[in-house]
Amino acid sequence: MERSLEIIFGLIEEKKYALVREELLENNEADIAEIIEEVNDELGTEKSVILFRMLPKDISAMVFAYLSSDCQVDIVGGITVKEVQNIMEEMSFDDMIDVLEELPANVVDRILMRTDKETRKLINQFLNYPESSAGSLMTIDYIGLKKEMNVGDALQYIKIHGMDQETVYTCYVMDAERHLEGIVSLRTLVVSDSDETIKDLMHEDFISVNVMDDQEEIAQLFKKYDFLALPVVDKENRLVGIITFDDIMDVIEEETTEDFERMAGVLDDSDKEYLDLSVIQHIKNRVPWLCLLTVSLMITGAIIARFEALMSQVIALVAYMPLLMGTGGNTGTQSATLVIRGMSLGEIELRDVGKVIWKELRISMVLGAVLALINFAKIVLIDRQEPLIALTVSISILIVVIFAKLIGGLLPMAAKKLKIDPALMATPMISSITDMVSVIIYLLLATLIMGITL
C-alpha cells in the first residue's frame, strides 16, 4: 500500500490519471480508502474527489464506508447529490446510517427527499436512537425465516435474497407479527437434510438485547459468548435489527480509548483521531481537568504554607516532600489502574470490594515497608541526616503507601457504585488526593517526632 501511495502521488503530479486509476484498482477497498484519505489530507479535496470518481460503482460504496467521517464529508461536498444517493443505495443499512449521522443536515435532507416514504421513515427512526444504544449500532440487513419452512426452502430463500456479507451466518425465525422465536445458523442449515423443518433445528434459548440497551453491556455479551451477531428486539420482543461482531469491535475500541483518555484527565467525546482533532478542540478536551487539578494543587500548597514555621526550622524536611508525594501518586496509580481495568473487563464486581481492600492492604504493607527501609537507609547513610528525619520520612512513606493503595482500590469502586465512570478516578484524581494527604501526614508527623511547636 505504501508503495502504491508513492506511485499514485507521482502520477497525480504528472497528471497521468489513466495510470492513477489502474494503480488505484490494484488495491483492495480498505487500502483504496486509505490512499484517498492521504490524497485528501496532502493534496486537497479536489484531487481526492477525482480519485473517488474513478472507482467503479460496485466498489465505490465499500470504499466510502471505510473513509473517516471527516473525509466522507469532504467527498460528499465535491460530488453531486445524485452520486451520494447512488453510494447510499449500495451501502449496508448500518453503514449508511453512520454516514448520515455525520453529514451536514442540509445534505441529509436533500438525500432523504429522494428516497421513498417508507425508507425515509426508517432512516429517521434510526437517526433518533440514542448515540450509544443498540438501536444506533444495529443493521436491518438480516435473513428472516419462518419456523414452518424446511431446510431446502430456507436455503432457496437465502439464495434468492442475495444478501449482505455480514449478516448471513445467523438466520432469525419470526412469527407473522415479527416476534423472534428462534435462531438458526447457516452452518446448521448446510449440514442438515433438506426436508428437516426449521422448527426442529432452531435454538429457542437465544440471547437478545433491547433496542435501548447500552453498547457497553452488549460488548460484554459479545466477549463472553463469542457471538457473530446478536438480535435486537423492541419492548414487544419483535425483531428490529441485528448487531454484528465487527461493529462491536469498533465499540470496544472506542470505549477503551475513552477509558485511557479519562484516566489521563482528557475529556473527549468526539471519537476523532488525535491528528484529526484541531488544536482548539484538544485544548477544550484538556483544560477542564487541568483547572480542577490546579485547584487541588493550590490546596496542597496552602497546607504546606501552614507549616512554614516548621520548615524554616528544619529546612532539610523540604527535600523529601517530592519523594512522599511521588510515592503516594505512583503506588495509588498502580492500584487504581488495575481495579479500573478489572472492572471494565468484568473481572472485578462491586461485591468484591472486601477482597480488593484485603489484597491491597497486604500488598501495601509489604511495599510500604520495603520503600520505608530503603529510604531510611539512604537518608541516614548517604544524606547523613539526623535519624529523626529519616524516621519521619520512612514512617510517612509506610502510611502514605497504605493509604494510596487503599484509596486507589476503593475510589474507582465507589465511583462505579455512584454510577460515575471509574476511569475518572485514575492518575490525576488519585495523585491529587495522595498529594494532599501525604504532605499532611508528613508535616504532622515531623512536628510530632521532632517535637517542634508551631
Q: How many CB atoms lie within 10 A of CB 233?
A: 20
Cell matching residue 64: 466510502
**Cβ 413 to a copy of itself shortest distance, Å:** 12
Asked if residue 283 binds a copy of itself (CB under 8 A), the reply is yes
DSSP assigned state of 179: B
How many residues belong to the chain?
454
With CB under 8 A as the contact rule, the residue among 182, 231, 241, 342 that binds a copy of itself is 342
**Phi (first) and psi of residue 273, to 5 degrees:** -75, 155
Cell matching residue 284: 477544550
Applying the rule CB under 8 A, the residues between 382 and 411 that interact with a copy of itself are 383
- Alpha-carbon dihedral sign for residues 18, 36, 109, 115: positive
How far is it, in rounded angstroms, from Cα 345 to Cα 338?
11
Asked if residue 40 binds a copy of itself (CB under 8 A), the reply is no
Cell matching residue 45: 479535496
Span from 76-84, 121-129, 208-216, 351-359 in contact with a copy of itself (CB under 8 A): 351-359
Amino acid at 159: K
Per-residue interface string for the shown chain with a copy of itself, residues 188-207, x marking contact by CB under 8 A: --xx-------------x--
CB nearer a copy of itself, residue 135 or residue 332: 332
Give the angle 223-226-229 at the CA atoms, nearest 5°. 105
With CB under 8 A as the contact rule, the residue among 18, 105, 176, 279 that binds a copy of itself is 279
The strand order across the sheet containing 209-210 reads 209-210, 229-233, 239-244
Applying the rule CB under 8 A, the residues between 246 and 275 that interact with a copy of itself are 246, 249, 252-253, 256-257, 259-261, 263-266, 273-275
Cell matching residue 80: 453531486
Applying the rule CB under 8 A, the residues between 48 and 67 that interact with a copy of itself are none
CB nearer a copy of itself, residue 123 or residue 164: 164
Asked if residue 338 binds a copy of itself (CB under 8 A), the reply is yes
Applying the rule CB under 8 A, the residues between 139 and 158 that interact with a copy of itself are 155, 158
| DSSP secondary structure letters along 284-332 | HHHHHHHHHHHHHHHHHHHHHHHTHHHHHH-GGGGGGHHHHHHHHHHHH
Asked if residue 414 binds a copy of itself (CB under 8 A), the reply is no
Q: How many CB atoms lie within 10 A of CB 261?
A: 16
CB nearer a copy of itself, residue 106 or residue 225: 225
**Cβ 115 to a copy of itself shortest distance, Å:** 27
DSSP assigned state of 145: E
How far is it, in rounded angstroms, from Cα 273 to Cα 270?
9
Query: Can you list the alpha helix ranges (DSSP code H) found in 145-244?
Result: 151-160, 186-191, 198-201, 215-225
Asked if residue 294 binds a copy of itself (CB under 8 A), the reply is yes
Applying the rule CB under 8 A, the residues between 158 and 187 that interact with a copy of itself are 158-159, 162-163, 165-166, 168-169, 185-187
Cβ-based neighbours of 107, under 8 Å, separated by 6 or more: 76, 81, 84
**Cβ 438 to a copy of itself shortest distance, Å:** 10
**Cβ 239 to a copy of itself shortest distance, Å:** 20
Span from 45-53, 105-113, 131-139, 349-357 in contact with a copy of itself (CB under 8 A): 349-357
Per-residue interface string for the shown chain with a copy of itself, residues 75-114, x marking contact by CB under 8 A: ----------------------------------------
Cell matching residue 16: 497521468
**Cβ 24 to a copy of itself shortest distance, Å:** 14
**Cβ 298 to a copy of itself shortest distance, Å:** 7
Which candidate, 400, 382, 386, places its Cα nearest to that of 324?
A: 400
